[in-house]
Amino acid sequence: MTDVTHGVLHTLFHSDQGGHEQVVLCQDRASGLKAVIAIHSTALGPALGGTRFYPYATEEEAVADALNLARGMSYKNAMAGLDHGGGKAVIIGDPARIKSEELLLAYGRFVASLGGRYVTACDVGTYVADMDVVARENRWTTGRSPENGGAGDSSVLTAFGVYQGMRASAQHRWGDPSLRDRTVGIAGVGKVGHILVEHLVAEGAKVVITDVREDAVGRIVAAHPGSVTAVADTATLIRVEGLDIYAPCALGGALNDDTVPVLTAGIVCGAANNQLAHPGVEKDLADRGILYAPDYVVNAGGVIQVADELHGFDFDRCKVKAAKIFDTTLAIFARAKADGIPPAAAADRIAEQRISEGREARAGRWSGAPGRGPGPPGPALGGTRRWAVGENSHFYRRVDRP
């Protein structure tokens, strides 16, 4: 057993970052599929989270990422008030090279084999068209196109939620939610980042962007002359003088021992998952007086959308729910101040409380005792169905509605 593998297993079975209910390793050699599905918790309902397609350096790195992302989804779904636990899947490989219909269909069959215990959606490297293919083999697929019964791209509401988180952060820090004339730095202007730029420019903010894709940067700067400027890389962006807000909107780990000491912004609020590289970074930010809006709280607009898809998607209803990220973020800041802890720790406490209540409610239903807390989620794909707890396991099974 390698040291890395030992580290992953130790995380899974022994650390506070583990405790996952189930991890599934998937392989289909005919299509080239190698994937990991991680289910962190089903205390609040079936695990819900996207599918990341990424060229990991090692399989062990992919497993570690799936574990981290799945845990984050449990907290995100809890804070968003959804009746879903947390799960995540990663497909190993460069999507530009190996993504194919056959691979996606094979992946769909693996997800379907879990019987609804995990509901998948889009993430980095996967798109609405991919989910349409996955759904041909797996009924528990969200993020599909409207033509195929889905809600379409969830990036719109993800960006809207981050924008609301920024406004709440501004309210807490400066006493005014307006972002007019504020300077916001965005690292990553992909599916979510470029929409976030639109919100900020519309309000009159000054935006500085960077991305590894020069063509994407060029298009956005050209579309907003005078309002958007670009810098060469993230290392330059985080050192920009006069930066008010830093928005990490690419991959995780953006806030670490190298970046936090040199960050010029007074607020961090972005769309990327797992922005804190390791435990303790949240305290480093607080010690420097930097207000951190917990990533899984402010980027929950997308999961709010895909969860709604299970009940018959309504964009206006989802936007109202996503707008509440403003109030949720303010509540977290207030809890952090009252408890004397960083906002990330405050968000964790609130999420863990809801997950614990869900677990206790499930235990009460198991024993026949009157349980309290959130009940099972509403109708899943297909309409006239409900979720119930299996009699001999933690699995959720689909049963006919009486």
What number of residues does the chain have? 402
Q: Which residues of 50-87 are buried (b: 16+ CB within 10 A; e: fewer)?
A: bbbbbebeeebebbbbbbbbbbbbbbbbbbbebbbbbb
Backbone angles phi, psi at 354, to 5 degrees: -70, -40
H or E segment to which residue 112 belongs: helix 101-112
Q: Do 238 and 216 contact (CB within 8 A), yes or no?
A: no
Told to judge if 337 belongs to the known catalytic residues of this protein, a careful annotator would answer no
Within 13 Å, how many C-alpha atoms sit on residue 292's CB side?
A: 30
Strand 33-41 vs strand 85-92: parallel, antiparallel, or unpaired? antiparallel
Q: What is the DSSP string of 127-181?
A: -HHHHHHHHTT-SSB-S--GGGTS---THHHHHHHHHHHHHHHHHHHHS----TT
Residue 284 in tokens: 């480093």
What does the DSSP assignment read for 261-293?
GG---SEE--S-S--BSSTTHHHHHHHTT-EE-
Report phi then psi at 111, rounded to 5.
Answer: -65, -45
Q: What are phi and psi of 216, to 5 degrees?
A: -65, -45
**Integer Rg of the chain from CA:** 21
Question: Is the CA virtual torsion 135, 33, 156, 191 positive or negative?
Answer: negative
Of the residues 88, 99, 191, 321, only one is catalytic, namely: 88
Give the separation between CA 261 and CA 276, rounded to whole angstroms: 14
> 128-135 and 101-112 helices cross at what angle (nearest 10)?
60
Q: Which residues pair with 48 in a beta bridge?
A: 86, 119
The catalytic residue positions are: 88
